[in-house]
């Protein structure tokens, strides 16, 4: 439990959004997650462009257009960390 709290403290100033565990259990395409579900990026075309540039990471691992985000990607008990480039972070909090 402490690791989860420490993780959230480190990323407390990072923009965030919430998503339900039920949606994650079904799996969400990366393009839909980053544009529609979280608004991390403004449009699907912006997401595709970022993925083609190889600038998107989920939990520090580079991903491509075929990536499906699911409950296996949850870290620190209830979070998924998204990164674009070196300095743009976004946190998804998973709620049950």
Structural domains in the chain plus CATH codes: 2-95 (3.10.290.10)
d(CA 92, CA 17): 5
Whether the Cβ atoms of residue 40 and residue 50 lie closer than 8 Å to each other: no
pLDDT, one tens digit per residue, over 21-73 is 999 999 999 999 999 999 999 999 999 999 999 999 999 999 999 999 999 99
pTM of the model: 0.90
Q: How many CA atoms, within 13 angstroms, populate the side-chain half-sphere of residue 87? A: 0
d(CA 17, CA 62): 20
Whether the Cβ atoms of residue 91 and residue 11 lie closer than 8 Å to each other: yes
The whole-angstrom distance between residue 4's C-alpha and the CA centroid of its chain comes to: 16
């Amino acid at each position: 439990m402490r690791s989860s709290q420490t993780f959230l403290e480190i990323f407390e100033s990072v923009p965030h959004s919430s998503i339900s565990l039920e949606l994650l259990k079904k799996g969400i395409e990366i393009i839909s997650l980053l544009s529609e579900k979280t608004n991390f990026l403004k449009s699907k075309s912006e997401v595709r462009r970022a993925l083609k540039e190889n600038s998107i990471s989920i939990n520090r691992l580079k991903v491509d257009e075929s990536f499906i985000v699911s409950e296996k990607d949850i870290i620190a008990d209830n979070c998924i960390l998204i990164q674009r480039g070196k300095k743009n972070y976004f946190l998804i909090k998973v709620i049950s």
